[in-house]
Each structure stands twice: as structure tokens, then as C-alpha cells.
Amino acid sequence: MNDSADNALPPISVEPLQIGDLVIDPPILQAPMAGYTNYAFRQIVREYGGVGLQATEMVSARSFVWLDQQAEFPDRLWGVEDEARPLAVQMWDNDPDTMARVGERLVGEFGVSVVDINFGCPVKQVTQSAHSGSYLLRWPEKMFSIIQRVVQACAPTPVTAKIRLGCSRECINAHEIAQVVEEAGAAALTVHGRTAADFFKGSADWEKISEIKPYLKKIPLIGNGDLDSAAKVVEAFRSYNVDGVMIARACLGRPWLFAQAAAALKGEPVPADPSLTEQRACLLRHYDLVVKRFGVEKGTMLMRKFACCYATGMYGARAFRTAAAKVSSQAEFYEIVENLFPRDPAPEAVESAGAS
Ligand SMILES: Cc1cc2nc3c(=O)[nH]c(=O)nc-3n(C[C@H](O)[C@H](O)[C@H](O)COP(=O)(O)O)c2cc1C
């Protein structure tokens, strides 16, 4: 969606989101994304603004407990202790006691604002091997005991749940799960409008997300799936029965998307995308933060995929993306960003295009 189209959006009245005692304003959330939403990324999103609540990558509750015996915290908790609030940490497992222990520590030692539980992950290592994530959508009683135990352990910090519509198109049960989540004491429910079997195929079904709303009496519903522009965020609030929205993939190379969506919700002009020069600077800042934490070798590897995200959809980005996918040293990283990241057109070119 281009900016000029977004600039014409008529205003819409949207209330802040209430999660327990927390007020989330604007009601636009940054999704948890394993391998992506680390401290560096969250920091950059926060600087652009417009995001109501940010989330970490999902953390395995079991390995948290195990790592703790080795006196270490998972890399996925990088930054959590000190960064700005509100902040949600997401965890996954299937054992209520382990999750309650971890929840209690996330609240007591890290002071997180929200503990989110993953009931949506469809990957085999989580579902088939660990009977967790979206696997649990088939076991509402088990979900109930997990949530109830974690809520007790974390009180008064709110506990939330993130689900998909069901395990497959044949067993969509999100409305039933929504009631279980609410009765177990969760403070909000996020629904990704696909089933686990869909993975990322097809489109998110926002009608089905909307249909869940009447089943929730006390807690807010957050819709998620395929929101990739300010216009779509406004449309989600206008056309569907949700209290908040969550953005995932589209913000990876566009951390300024939240600021654009927040402006659109208020009926303000949507800020234009940063210039390509600014986007290049943003990518380099992101790289530096990651390298400072993980060192050059691991940091450069981690940034390959991010560099590709920053250039997604840009004219002339193919050579950059091909090179970024293989980059292996700091010098090489700087070199490809300098030489291959798409550039703003020279002012003379813009002027002559305007004159023609
Ligand atoms: C690379 C990647 C990693 C993800 N990791 C998580 C995760 O750790 N926890 C989670 O609940 N969802 C995770 N998701 C799912 C997203 O949070 C979101 O539900 C999904 O991408 C749909 O939203 P979107 O269409 O805005 O991308 C992940 C998605 C992607 C693409």
C-alpha cells in the first residue's frame, strides 16, 4: 500500500486496549517472532514509535529452567531486564508447573509487563516433538490448567494467550478455546486467522477472527494476520470485531510501519516511508546492535535474513538480497550495504521526472 493512498484514510474512533491493569495505546501490537524480535529489533521499532506493546521471541520454558541451572539466561531474554515497558515475554511448553515457575521469575526478576503463552506455533519441533504450541489446541483442558497455573503464579501481572483458529480447517475451535482462555483467567486473547495446518498458506480469515468476539465476555480480542499497511490496520478496526491488532512479518523490514498505522488510526497524515538513505542507516544501526551483542561472526550470520527483509519489495534489490544471503564478515556487510542497497534517485532525476 503506498503512502499517498494511506494519506486519504478517513479517521476512525479506536479505544486504547486494556490488558489487566495495563493500558495499551495505540492498540497496535508487535508480534513475537522467533529469530527476529530480539532486543535490537524491538529497540528500533520503539524509536520509530506507534507501537502499543512489543513482544520478545518465544522462549522455551523448559530450557529457561535448564539454562538457569547453568547460571545463564536464554539469548532470547537479551535486553528484557532493562528495556522500556510495556513489554511482553512469550513462552511455550506443555507443563503447567514448569511454565508457572518461569512465569513467576519473568515477573519477579525481570519485571515484565505481560506473560504471553504460545498456543499457536505449528512447527514440528514444538508440536509433534514437544506436544506444545498449536498441538495444545486439541486439548482445551490442558490449556486451561496451564493458563490457570501461570495466572496464579504471575498475579497481578497479566497473562495472555496467542492461538490460531484451530489445528486444521476441519477442526476450527477458536471460539471454544476463547472461552477456556477467558475462564482460566487470561487477560487477553490474540488470534492469528489461520489454522496450524495452514502454516502461512492462503490468507488470514478475519471473518473467523471476528466471530470469536461474542464468546469473550471480559477480555479483549486481538486480531492478527496479513496486516501490512496503515490502510489494512484501519480496515481491520473498521470491518472486524477486534479490540486490538498485531503485526508480524510486515514490520520486519519496515519498523516504521507502527508509526504509520498509529497516525492513520488517529486520522492524521500517514508519515512517508523513510528515504532509502535513512533506511540504509537504520539497517546499519540494527547490524551494529546485533554485532555488539553476538560478536561479528554470529551477528553477521543473524543479520543476513534481516538485511534481506529491509530490501524486500524494493526496485533493484535483487543483487543486494543475493549478496546479503551469503555475507560473512563485517567488512563485507558494510560493503554490500554501501554498494548494493537501493539508493534514492539523485535530485536531478526527480526534478526532470517531475518536469516531464
Ligand atoms: C519468522 C517467524 C517467527 C515467528 N515466531 C513466532 C513466535 O515466536 N511466537 C508466536 O506466537 N508466533 C510466531 N510467529 C507468528 C507471528 O507472530 C504471526 O502470528 C504470523 O506471522 C501472522 O501474522 P502476519 O501475517 O502479520 O505475519 C512467527 C512468524 C514468523 C514469520
Q: What is the pLDDT of residue 150?
A: 98
For ligand 1, the distance from its centroid to the CA atom of residue 248, given in whole angstroms, is 6
Q: What is the extent of the structural domain holding 210? A: 3-266
Q: What is the pLDDT of residue 356?
A: 44
* CB neighbour list of residue 55: distance below 8 Å, 6 or more residues apart: 29, 30, 31, 32, 37, 87, 88, 89, 90, 116
- Domain membership of residue 282 (yes or no) is yes
- Which residues contribute to the annotated binding site for FMN? 32-34, 90, 162, 192, 248-249
**Distance (Å, whole) CA 188 – CA 197:** 24
- The per-residue pLDDT for 74 is 76
49, part of any domain: yes
For residue 163, report the distance from its CA to the centre of ligand 1, in Å: 11
Run of H or E residues at 57: strand 54-60
CATH of the domain at 329: 1.10.1200.80
Coil/strand/helix, residue 185: coil
| Residues 111 and 182 placed together within one structural domain of the fold | yes
* 307, 176: one domain: no
226 lines ligand 1 (CB under 6 A): yes
168 and 69 both lie in a single domain: yes
CATH of the domain at 257: 3.20.20.70
Per-residue model confidence as pLDDT tens for the chain (356 residues) = 334 445 556 768 899 999 999 999 999 999 999 999 999 999 999 999 999 999 999 999 998 887 666 666 778 889 999 999 999 999 999 999 999 999 999 999 999 999 999 999 999 999 999 999 999 999 999 999 999 999 999 999 999 999 999 999 999 999 999 999 999 999 999 999 999 999 999 999 999 999 999 999 999 999 999 999 999 999 999 999 999 999 999 999 999 999 999 999 999 999 999 999 999 999 999 999 999 999 999 999 999 999 999 999 888 899 999 999 999 999 999 999 999 999 887 766 656 555 44
Residue 255 and residue 291 share a domain: no
For ligand 1, whether the C-beta of 321 sits within 6 Å is: no
Is the alpha carbon torsion for 71, 74, 75, 81 positive or negative?
A: negative
Which of 266, 293, 317 is where one domain is finished? 266
For the annotated catalytic residues, the residue numbers are: 121
Encode pLDDT of 167-221 as tens digits. 999 999 999 999 999 999 999 999 999 999 999 999 999 999 999 999 999 999 9
User: How confident is the model at residue 4, as a pLDDT?
Assistant: 41
Our count of domains for the chain comes to: 2
- Whole-number Å distance between alpha carbons of 177 and 152: 19
pLDDT in tens, 217-268: 999 999 999 999 999 999 999 999 999 999 999 999 999 999 999 999 999 9
Domain stops at, among 247, 266, 285? 266
Q: State pTM to two decimals.
A: 0.94
Q: Residue 353: its pLDDT value, please?
A: 54
Report the separation in Å between the CA atom of 138 and the middle of ligand 1, taken as the mean of its atom positions. Answer: 20
Q: Are residues 163 and 42 in the same domain?
A: yes
Query: In terms of C-beta density within 10 A (0-12 exposed, 13-18 middle, 19 or more buried), how is residue 139 classed?
Result: middle
**Which of 1, 33, 258 gets mutated to test ligand 1 (max ligand atoms within 8 A of its CB)?**
33
Domain final residue pick, 266, 301, 324: 266
